[in-house]
Structure 1
Amino acid sequence: MDVVAAAVSFAQLAGICIKLANDLVHKYHTYKSAGKDIEDIIVRIEGSWLRTEAQIGVLLKILNSIDHALLAYQYACLERLWRQLCLATIEVENLTESNLNTVNLGDLSLSIRPIKKARYVRLSKHLQKLVADLTLWRDEFDPSWYLIGRIADSNIDKLLQPEPHTQAPQDEISAVGAIRKAIQAATSDKGSPATIFRDADCVSDSKTQFLHSRITASIFLPDGLAVLLDQTAFDEDTDRTQSMVQVRDLARLLSFSKPETLGLLECLGAIKIHDQRGAVSQYQFIFKIPPGLGNPSVLRTLIMGPASSLDARFRIARSLARSVMAVHSADLVHKNIHPETIVVFEDSSQSLPSSFLVGFERFRAAGAGTTLAGDNVWQRNLYRHPNRQGIRPEDTYIMQHDIYSLGVCLLELGLWTTFVTPTEPPQPGPRLDIGEQLVLAKREPIQAARSIKSILINMAKELLPTTMGLMYTEVVLSCLTCLDSGTSNMFADARDVYDADGIIVGVAFIEKILLRLEGIRL
């Protein structure tokens, strides 16, 4: 199907979905008087649909600007929504067909109450199922929505302006618009660097250092909010003007983050850290801890302790994958994904943990130049693709390198074992037998790196299936082989995943990694 035909098909299916959903909402309104619980669920459904309708409305306006791969994915999402709406329509029609005249009630005053109660229970189950289905659908659709931020078409910015006098929620539209503005400001170097920076006394002097991490917890004094402080690790020879601009742009981007959707914490600003000479050498990002979350620790600390449930591991894995997708949607590469940069919180609203990606020490814009500089620290190289290791890495950093790092973390998470024992000096974990490779790395670093990668792949193949299942194993292997040639690479040939806007690799990541993790159910 060519681009024009795909756009026409999308528009037609979108129109059908909008009509079906609006008809459903109208039918549900007739049940609002059935009880407070029913009314609350109907309000949730209506609110969710209004957001979705607003997003579809934007997509219809920018169809000609959407990459074919992204449009094909969103069309597939729309097809799934259409099927859900059709099933919901059939079910609600069956509910309304219940007719007291067709039943011999005998004493009506005695029999009408249990029949009403039975219909109430059926209606409640139907509505709760629809809420769950719509939530799963949004989990599939939303990551592709934020990829709009990467499309290089200035006309999109005009169409993302909030519509006046509308009752539809504009949060998702405003978020994408803000991300696009921040990306454009970073690209054009517009905007004052000073606007995002905070004085050092904006946070409490009382700080709690995380074990095995550079992250500290503190209080943001202007509002009394609990925050995390995440310090950069720029090299001494880094251009200080460039680093200030990079920090400004990242802080600006993350100030628009929706943690529950993107897996990235909202940034309240950045603090300049001065060296002994009084010059600015590093920065601390101020990240707001979402309400209801507490007792934070980094993943390294967790996997060195008692094993968590499979439910908890899968939830952390999904959230981490969403974080990587959000970094890509914001036109960034993280360059520093490992268990010390993954913060896990206890969630007061549920038994499962919530996790977020931090550790923005060595980030850069995806389209910015790279120095091809690195280091030979083995515990850092462990999470880097072989082509990105050593003092002079072979490859420019791209999203697939973050995906590889994700794969190593998911392997550790699934096996619930640490690959790095944080002693002084650090040693390989008890299940990671790479002693020979570390010796070899002193003479043949690339050969050693590829050998370690093979060891990780074999560990995934041999150890993960019995613990985490085949689908999780496939996800990990997809990450670890995302730059390989041949059929083992689920991201297909390199020519299929490189593109100017980074849309194709983003869609591939959603399909091959994110949705597979979302689809795992115990």
Structure 2
Amino acid sequence: MSGAELPLAIIGAADLAFKHGQRLVKLCKAFKGAEDELTERILQVEAGWLKTAEQLQFTQKVAGSMDAYHKQINEKIIETLQSKLKAVTLKLERVVKMSDKDGNTNSSEESNVTVTPKRWKYALLKESIDEAVEELEAWQRTADPSWYLILRIASSQIDQALVRDNNDTVTSFPTANAIRAGLRDANCNEVGGVFLPSSELEKMTTTDIPFCDAQLAMRQSARKGLQRFLLTRAECPPEAKVQTVKRDLRDLARKLSHDNPRTFSLLSCKGIIEQVDAAAPGVQARVTFTLVFRTPTEISNPRSLRDHLVTGIERMALSDKFDIARQMATSVSYVHTFGFVHKDIRPGTVIVFTETRALHPPAVFLIGFGCFRREEGKTYRIGDDNWEKNLYRHPSRQGSKPNDEYIMQHDIYSLGVCLLEIGLGKSFVSYDTEGSHPASSPAIGFQGINTGFRESDALKTHLVSLACDELPRYMGRRYAAVVKTCLTCLDPDNTDFGDEQEFLDKDGVLVGVRYIEKVLSQLNAICV
């Protein structure tokens, strides 16, 4: 298919998806008000379709701004939606047309009359509508990363498509403005707006989270009652300019000041607190920044992923392990979409919230932005010999003086080690009964990890072997293939990520598109 035909292909695929989606909503509306439980499900379908329709319309408008490869991925995503909508609509139509055996066939779906089905049909209707809700939500998980990645494209067409005729920004995607603003303000030195007074910390009571870089903080507010936050810290390196670090933190906080943490698997940032420690004359003062994150109100019990691994993640339901993996992969995608590299992805920088009754899967969020930088920002090639952290670093980024500059693929490698650990169900790091004195765990099956990592390439080879030989027994071949892709993403012979020259587009979009295709979409496609 030629480049000129690709936008037309996206438009055509979206039109077909519109047809099936509108048909689904119309069928559901016929039963609105029939029963509270059924009506609630129908409202979920309508809300899901409203967001989906806005995405489809936006994608149609900006198809001409996308690279050919990006267009192909979006076309595949829309075709997947089309087939899912068609399947659930046909299933619902069959239920609607079933006779009630008393003359009421409910076949007049073209009318605006509310249909009241017999009780025996409710179970079938609920099942069909639940399936529609699940399919829309599953599609959103796959489509959202690609959709938000479009916002990185430096084109006026994107800004125009985000605005409706009445000049109101597309309401289903409020964070879109923050991403676009980040592109425009990347070189702005103004740092105000997100910085909080240092006295805010004095109002909080903090508690350490085991095996985690974050603290749980609570504050009693006269207006809002008890508030809970997560605190993480970032120290300004001696080699860096404080103003540059503050500017990058400002950008990060703005992009994380969203209201939908479950979409991004990134917590909403309330603001940043700067603290300067007094220093002796002639000595550079130590500057520390505390990032204050809001915790979702509907979930509780925050624990680090390391805590789950140490105490026995193998007892966790298989579906929950897949959910944790998907959400981790999602968070990495959005960190890069927002224009940053994380540089410290490991179980100690991942927080897991669970519900007391465990009716829903765990909610997973990537935290620990102490080492992050702007994707195109200055790199100092400063590392350390902390073997616990080196375990999750690519060999080219280990030690006090890493060989290579940090790029997105280094984050993907770190994700691969975490996904391997989740899949095998055991921590690669063990601790004593006090939770101290970390040591390499027998689970990793590699000697000499905590002796300086002189055999870093051998360790990487060993991790790839675990992914190929051991992991399929626990998580299946498809999951194992994703982990292998992550662990080998910087290998020259990796056909998915190995050739860095393929990802030198001006907007930095193509490596994100490839990640969505080869990692995120593959994980989302696994059914448990």
Structure 1 length as normaliser, TM-score? 0.89
2:441 counterpart (404, 429, 434): 429
1:264 corresponding residue in structure 2: 266
2:350 counterpart (342, 350, 354): 342
Q: Answer yes or no: is the 8 Å Cα contact 2:236–2:286 preserved in 1.
A: no
User: Aligned-pair distance for 1:489?
Assistant: 4.8
Q: Answer yes or no: is the 8 Å Cα contact 1:408–1:456 preserved in 2.
A: yes
2:296 corresponding residue in structure 1: 290
User: Aligned-pair distance for 1:245?
Assistant: 1.3
Higher helix share: 1
- Residue 375 of structure 1 aligns to which amino acid in structure 2? D
The worse-fitting range, judged by mean Cα deviation, of 365-374 and 317-326 is 365-374
Whole-angstrom distance in 1 between the partners of 2:21 and 2:368: 42
1:511 counterpart (512, 517, 526): 517
User: Aligned-pair distance for 1:498?
Assistant: 4.4
Whole-angstrom distance in 2 between the partners of 1:119 and 1:267: 46
2:211 corresponding residue in structure 1: 212
User: Aligned-pair distance for 1:219?
Assistant: 2.2
Q: Answer yes or no: is the 8 Å Cα contact 2:204–2:219 preserved in 1.
A: no
1:500 and 2:502 are equivalent in the alignment: no
Q: Answer yes or no: is the 8 Å Cα contact 1:491–1:512 preserved in 2.
A: no
Query: Within 5 Å, which residues of 2 pair with 1:57-456?
Result: 57-99=57-99, 116-161=118-163, 164=166, 170-172=171-173, 174-185=174-185, 187-189=186-188, 192-203=190-201, 204-220=203-219, 223=224, 224-256=226-258, 258-277=260-279, 279=285, 281-307=287-313, 308-309=315-316, 310-348=318-356, 350=359, 352-422=361-431, 426-436=438-448, 439=451, 441=453, 445=454, 448-456=455-463
Q: In 2 relative to 1, CA 468–17 (structure 1 residues): closer, same or farther, beyond 3 Å?
A: closer
Q: Answer yes or no: is the 8 Å Cα contact 2:259–2:268 preserved in 1.
A: yes
2:113 corresponding residue in structure 1: none
- Residue 340 of structure 1 aligns to which amino acid in structure 2? G
Q: Answer yes or no: is the 8 Å Cα contact 1:472–1:517 preserved in 2.
A: yes
Whole-angstrom distance in 2 between the partners of 1:439 and 1:285: 33
Structure 1 unaligned residues grouped into runs of 5+: 106-113
1:110 corresponding residue in structure 2: none
- Residue 70 of structure 2 aligns to which amino acid in structure 1? L
Q: In 2 relative to 1, CA 257–96 (structure 1 residues): closer, same or farther, beyond 3 Å?
A: closer
The worse-fitting range, judged by mean Cα deviation, of 253-262 and 278-287 is 278-287
Q: Answer yes or no: is the 8 Å Cα contact 2:472–2:480 preserved in 1.
A: yes
Q: Answer yes or no: is the 8 Å Cα contact 2:300–2:354 preserved in 1.
A: yes
Aligned residues: 504
Q: Which runs of 4+ in 1 moved over 6 A?
A: 100-105
Secondary structure in 2 aligned to 1:32? coil
2:476 corresponding residue in structure 1: 469
User: Aligned-pair distance for 1:85?
Assistant: 2.6
- The superposition leaves residues 143-173 of structure 1 with CA deviations (integer Å, 9 ceiling, x where unpaired) of 111112221223322331355398x97132x
- The superposition leaves residues 360-413 of structure 1 with CA deviations (integer Å, 9 ceiling, x where unpaired) of 011011122212222232222221111122333222211110000001111122
- The superposition leaves residues 167-189 of structure 1 with CA deviations (integer Å, 9 ceiling, x where unpaired) of x97132x222222212432x222
Q: Answer yes or no: is the 8 Å Cα contact 2:14–2:78 preserved in 1.
A: yes
Root mean square deviation of aligned Cα: 2.7
Secondary structure in 1 aligned to 2:235? coil
- Residue 15 of structure 2 aligns to which amino acid in structure 1? G
- The superposition leaves residues 182-214 of structure 1 with CA deviations (integer Å, 9 ceiling, x where unpaired) of 2432x2225x31211111232434210122333
User: Aligned-pair distance for 1:40?
Assistant: 1.8
Whole-angstrom distance in 2 between the partners of 1:216 and 1:43: 38
User: Aligned-pair distance for 1:73?
Assistant: 1.2
Secondary structure in 2 aligned to 1:71? helix
Whole-angstrom distance in 2 between the partners of 1:165 and 1:373: 46
User: Aligned-pair distance for 1:232?
Assistant: 0.7
Secondary structure in 2 aligned to 1:350? coil
Whole-angstrom distance in 2 between the partners of 1:341 and 1:104: 58
Q: In 2 relative to 1, CA 37–293 (structure 1 residues): closer, same or farther, beyond 3 Å?
A: closer
Identity among equivalent pairs (%): 32
Q: Answer yes or no: is the 8 Å Cα contact 1:161–1:177 preserved in 2.
A: no
User: Aligned-pair distance for 1:134?
Assistant: 1.3
1:111 corresponding residue in structure 2: none
User: Aligned-pair distance for 1:56?
Assistant: 1.5
2:526 corresponding residue in structure 1: 520
- Residue 260 of structure 1 aligns to which amino acid in structure 2? R
Q: In 2 relative to 1, CA 31–234 (structure 1 residues): closer, same or farther, beyond 3 Å?
A: same
User: Aligned-pair distance for 1:497?
Assistant: 4.2
Q: Answer yes or no: is the 8 Å Cα contact 2:421–2:427 preserved in 1.
A: yes
- Residue 308 of structure 2 aligns to which amino acid in structure 1? L
Whole-angstrom distance in 1 between the partners of 2:360 and 2:473: 24
Q: Answer yes or no: is the 8 Å Cα contact 1:183–1:253 preserved in 2.
A: no
Q: Answer yes or no: is the 8 Å Cα contact 2:440–2:449 preserved in 1.
A: no
1:55 and 2:64 are equivalent in the alignment: no
Q: Answer yes or no: is the 8 Å Cα contact 1:175–1:256 preserved in 2.
A: yes
Whole-angstrom distance in 1 between the partners of 2:25 and 2:452: 65
Whole-angstrom distance in 1 between the partners of 2:167 and 2:123: 38
User: Aligned-pair distance for 1:280?
Assistant: 5.7
Q: Answer yes or no: is the 8 Å Cα contact 1:149–1:179 preserved in 2.
A: yes
Whole-angstrom distance in 2 between the partners of 1:375 and 1:28: 58
Q: Answer yes or no: is the 8 Å Cα contact 2:309–2:426 preserved in 1.
A: yes
Q: Answer yes or no: is the 8 Å Cα contact 2:148–2:337 preserved in 1.
A: yes
User: Aligned-pair distance for 1:102?
Assistant: 9.9
Structure 2 unaligned residues grouped into runs of 5+: 106-115
